[in-house]
Structure 1
Amino acid sequence: MATHMITGAGSGIGAAVARRLRERGDELILLARDAGRAKELADLHPGARTLVGDLANPDRLSWAFSHQTLPDRLDSLLHIAGVVDLGRIGDLTTKAWRGQLEVNLVAPAELTRLLLPQLRASRGHVVFVNSGAGLRANAEWAAYAASKHGLKALADALRLEEHDNGVRVTSVYPGRTASPMQAKVHQQEGKEYDPSRWIDPESVATAVLTAVDLPRDAEITDLSVRPGR
């Protein structure tokens, strides 16, 4: 039985990935920002373990983990959580920049650092669910795209650094996906939200699991998932 740690398992792509892995009998460790959220995740994914650590405060992750029991080995670390706050560069505050950079880039880097010993022990896999914005920046998406471009750089460097340790690294770049985050984006854009126009989270989950389940003789490094409609 494989053990996976997942961020963002409460909704959207993360919830779909967690459900699929749980249904096939794998062990799940779900990261929650606080004890209340941990209970919600445990109710949503029965049988899963939870760890508490706030991605919005990556400086405290090491301290938080020091008070909890970490697994001895980890077959995959799935970075799926993220935040978005649109705005023109002339209007974005440092708080908006830092909020997205901390959750979308610094926290995944710190979480990966803290769990590398467990990933090396199992010759595991790190998956970064990035975004189309990690490949192209559009107007009003500067802070989010910067965080996701940085996430691609993190993944590319990690892949080279950990190759000899047998750790695989994959970046997945979904286009617009029907999720609470997408509903928020449409609200910020002042547009009507129609989830049927966008990718089903289950489709992105299939892409993530394809990378994770690939035989050990190969590695999917980068995978783009675009809306088919």
Structure 2
Amino acid sequence: MGTYLITGATGGIGTAVAELLRERGHDLILTGRSAERLDTLAGTLRGGTAHAATQVINPGAVASPPRSAPVTTIPLDLTTPRRIEAALAMAGVPARLDGVVHAAGMVHLGPVAQLEADEWMEHLSVNLVSAAELTRLLLPALRAAEGHVVFVNSTAGLRANPEWSAYAASKFGLRALADSLRAEESSLRVTTVYPGRTATEMQRSIRAQEGHAYAEDDFAAPGTVARVLVAALETPRDAVISEVTVRPN
């Protein structure tokens, strides 16, 4: 079993990833802005017994008995990247970390003519700078385990549309971060997942900003994106899924 840290763990995709990893018997470190929501999620995940599994799929492996996978929480406010180091120091991070899933994100739509500096800085802080800072701080633990870093990007990180400039810029930057990390850290595996529109609370907010109704069935389920992401984590060590796009059908 491995140990995985998930940002944005109380969001749709983050929660779905946490559920799948816990089912496989992994230890989890959940991060998010709200300590109360993190505690609620952690309590839910602790409520059942995780199914033990090896970190990498191995059809010949003998299944281990079920165990209770530890779930810990670290409240993090990603709007203030400079405070991440202190928060991690207070919480304590394992010396070995098998993976980090960067699932946190925020979006506020608006034309370039109306987006003010504070909105640009919030997008960049939450969606890009905090991911870079957290990765930097966790690199020793990731290197020790030859771990895996997954960036949950967006199809907006591949193409910018009207009124998506700040969000898309942050996601284009996240793609660059992933590409550079992959080239610099040969012992790590790095994956970027580009989800299209997904049925999450963020999508509900986006539809409201666009002036449209929200219909969950119009979008991909968070669990579907999570399954693709976890499949990348479980790819045998002789290969890496470097990029994958998941669009609603």
SS of equivalent to 2:82:
helix
Using the TM superposition, give the Cα deviation of residue 176 of structure 1 relative to its aligned residue in structure 2, in angstroms. 0.1
Equivalent position amino acid for 2:223 in 1: E
Using the TM superposition, give the Cα deviation of residue 190 of structure 1 relative to its aligned residue in structure 2, in angstroms. 0.5
SS of equivalent to 1:99:
helix
Q: How far apart, in 2, do the equivalents of 1:70 and 1:138 lie?
A: 39
| Residue among 82, 105, 122 paired with 1:99 | 122
Q: How far apart, in 1, do the equivalents of 2:203 and 2:76 lie?
A: 24
TM-score w.r.t. the length of structure 2 is 0.88
Using the TM superposition, give the Cα deviation of residue 66 of structure 1 relative to its aligned residue in structure 2, in angstroms. 1.8
- Corresponding residue for 2:212? 191
- Corresponding residue for 2:200? 179
Structure 1 range deviating more: 219-228 or 121-130:
219-228
- Corresponding residue for 1:14? 14
Deviations 1:113-163 (A, max 9, x none): 000000000000000000000000000000000000000000000000001
- 8 A Cα contact 1:41 1:50, kept in partner: no
Asked if residue 108 in structure 1 is aligned to residue 148 in structure 2, the reply is no
Q: How far apart, in 2, do the equivalents of 1:59 and 1:146 lie?
A: 21
Deviations 1:178-207 (A, max 9, x none): 000000000000001111010011110011
| Residue among 122, 142, 151 paired with 1:128 | 151
| Residue among 180, 191, 194 paired with 1:170 | 191
Query: Structure 1 stretches of 5 or more lacking a match?
Result: none
Using the TM superposition, give the Cα deviation of residue 63 of structure 1 relative to its aligned residue in structure 2, in angstroms. 1.5
Q: How far apart, in 2, do the equivalents of 1:37 and 1:110 lie?
A: 23
TM-score w.r.t. the length of structure 1 is 0.96
- 8 A Cα contact 2:9 2:38, kept in partner: no
Using the TM superposition, give the Cα deviation of residue 221 of structure 1 relative to its aligned residue in structure 2, in angstroms. 0.7
Equivalent position amino acid for 2:239 in 1: A
Q: How far apart, in 2, do the equivalents of 1:207 and 1:42 lie?
A: 23
Query: Structure 2 stretches of 5 or more lacking a match?
Result: 47-69
Structure 2 CA distance for partners of 1:9 and 1:196, relative to 1, 3 Å = same
- Identical pairs, percent: 53
Structure 2 CA distance for partners of 1:14 and 1:35, relative to 1, 3 Å = closer
Structure 1 range deviating more: 47-56 or 102-111:
47-56
Report how many residues are paired. 226
Asked if residue 218 in structure 1 is aligned to residue 242 in structure 2, the reply is no
- 8 A Cα contact 1:174 1:204, kept in partner: yes
